[in-house]
Amino acid sequence: MGIKNVADLVQLNPSYPDALNPVRKDYHLVPFQVQRTNTTAFKVAVLPADATILGFRYYIQTPSNAGTTAVVTLTGQGVGPQGATFAFGSQSVLAAAGNTGLMNATVNTVTGIFNLERPPATQTSGDIIIYATYSETGTASSAGGPFYFVIEYVR
């Protein structure tokens, strides 16, 4: 009865992990807010090197009242000598109050997001710094914000 030795153990999935069945990762959220005064890129988060960014959610509680456009742009920088730069997209904050959504291909083009098995040193050589910038055109805004965002990633 029972297991006699290690050789008697049979793996349920002997090939796991492989290219089609990657190692499972934990889901993480990083909330941050952007003010109308954040007109130069500022650091909103530092993600670990092995993070895989899934997307960015936004919530506009009080929209900007700028004359023509008002957008928040999200960018990234890999830490290290070979650290790549990433453009994650821009989101208009000149919309009606209560506007929420997921920045993805149906709303914005999010570029530079890694695949699920990206080796950390290949693209970033280290952690990933996320930056946000508010910009507007037309008449200067006098109200609006803060604009809330959440980074969704796994690692």
Cα 133–Cα 102–Cα 58 angle in degrees, nearest 5: 45
Domain contains 5? no
Domain contains 74? yes
Total tally of structural domains belonging to the chain: 1
What pTM does this model have?
0.77
Domain contains 42? yes
More confident residue, 155 or 43: 43
Residues 104-129: what's their mean pLDDT? 54
pLDDT per residue as tens digits for the range 77-93: 888 666 777 888 888 99
Share of the chain above pLDDT 70, in %: 68
pLDDT per residue as tens digits for the range 22-33: 677 889 999 999
pLDDT per residue as tens digits for the range 120-133: 545 556 788 999 99
Residue 23, SS3 per DSSP: coil
CATH code for the domain of 36: 2.60.120
User: CB neighbours (10 Å) of residue 11?
Assistant: 7
Domain contains 16? no
Domain contains 40? yes
Q: How many residues does the chain have?
A: 155
pLDDT recorded at residue 107: 40
Domain contains 104? yes
Confidence tier at 42 by pLDDT (50, 70, 90): very high
Q: Which structural domain range is residue 129 located in?
A: 28-154
Domain contains 13? no
Confidence tier at 116 by pLDDT (50, 70, 90): very low
Domain contains 58? yes
pLDDT per residue as tens digits for the range 53-84: 888 899 998 999 999 999 999 988 888 666 77
